[in-house]
Amino acid sequence: MIERAAPTLPGDAIGLVIAHLGKSLAVETARGELLVCQSRRRIIDVAVGDRVQVEATSPDSGVVTAVLPRSTELLRPARGGRTRTVAANIQHVWVVLAVAPEPDFLLVDQILAVSEHRGIAGGLLINKVDLGGDRTRLDVEVRNYAAAGYPVLEVSARAGVGLASLQQRLHSTCSMLAGQSGVGKSSLTNALIPDRSLRVNELSAKSGLGRHTTTTATLYHLPGSGDLIDSPGVTVFGLAQMNGRDIAHGYREFRDFIGRCRFNDCRHLDDMGCAVREAVAAGHLSEARHARYRKLLEKGVSAAFLTSAQPPG
């Protein structure tokens, strides 16, 4: 029986973490080889999207020896009041909405605010546009986001509407789709990545754990260029490590007015001399967005996150 040699890697080679497989990591090498890796004990926080140094130990396995510096990261709460990185090096987050189910605009604001805080570009995808329905409230809110500078694309995974424009937006970037259940994120992902099921089967076979082995996020390569990270939940967009000022700056249209407030510690609620509230009263800022900012701020306080981070520079 002829033994297969381990992939030839020049010392510590660079790989890309594309999934968690139980307690292991699926790492793709520059040659496209897929290794099931463990990480050195001192490396406790490795996320999908991380670029890592990896040593091959067999044809199908290896060891992660270091994590390269990240450009961005998304966190979720972990045990003991700590946080854990679940996705790294994302450049764009697209929030998926639809007429039905009823849009949760507080969740939309939270996702966009967290993305702003993490230096990740945000945008909106209005899915299922082929199904019609009453869009009155949706269109009003979407205009507010567009006025704040967020790109808005109308798409339909089923009818193929707008997919070419979306693919252009995703070209050469690492992106993530986010949003509430039922808006069609999985349908969009399947439309954008025709061989997604093949990749899932490959990961399952490599891990030896059967189907549905990934529990956090999975990175897929888009046809042509670009990557898409598929995350099964929205917990990565919690308010971990965000203080009150971070949340206010997460509403990007507030920023032109924040510097005009009378007091530096203005919360933009009922504070005297608040330029943000004055702009809302004058119709320059969305009253609905400001009301949701209040709720998001209260949510941050109740989660005890408001004293845990430095304001953005």
Cα dihedral sign, 99-104-108-111:
negative
- The reply to whether CATH 2.40.50.140 applies to domain 13-67 is yes
Name the H helices within the chain: 105-117, 136-147, 163-170, 185-192, 196-207, 244-250, 255-258, 275-281, 287-302
Q: Which pLDDT does position 301 carry in this prediction?
A: 65
How many contiguous H segments (helices) and E segments (strands) does the chain have? 9, 13
Domains in the chain: boundaries: 13-67, 88-236, 239-302
State both tokens at 49.
């999207």
* Prior bond of 101 cis (ω within 30°): yes
Residues 6 or more apart in contact with residue 175 via CB below 8 angstroms:
90, 91, 92, 93, 94, 169, 226, 227, 228, 229
Where b means 16+ CB within 10 Å and e means fewer, 201-231 reads eebbebbeeeeebbebbbbbbbeeebbbbbb
Q: Which residues of the chain have pLDDT under 70?
A: 1-12, 208-216, 233-235, 301-313
Residue type, 311: P
State both tokens at 87.
């996705």
Q: In the CATH scheme, what architecture does the domain 239-302 have?
A: Orthogonal Bundle (1.10)
CATH topology of 13-67 equal to that of 88-236?
no
Read off the pTM.
0.89
Q: How far apart are CA 62 and CA 17, in angstroms?
A: 12
> For the domain 88-236, what is the CATH code?
3.40.50.300
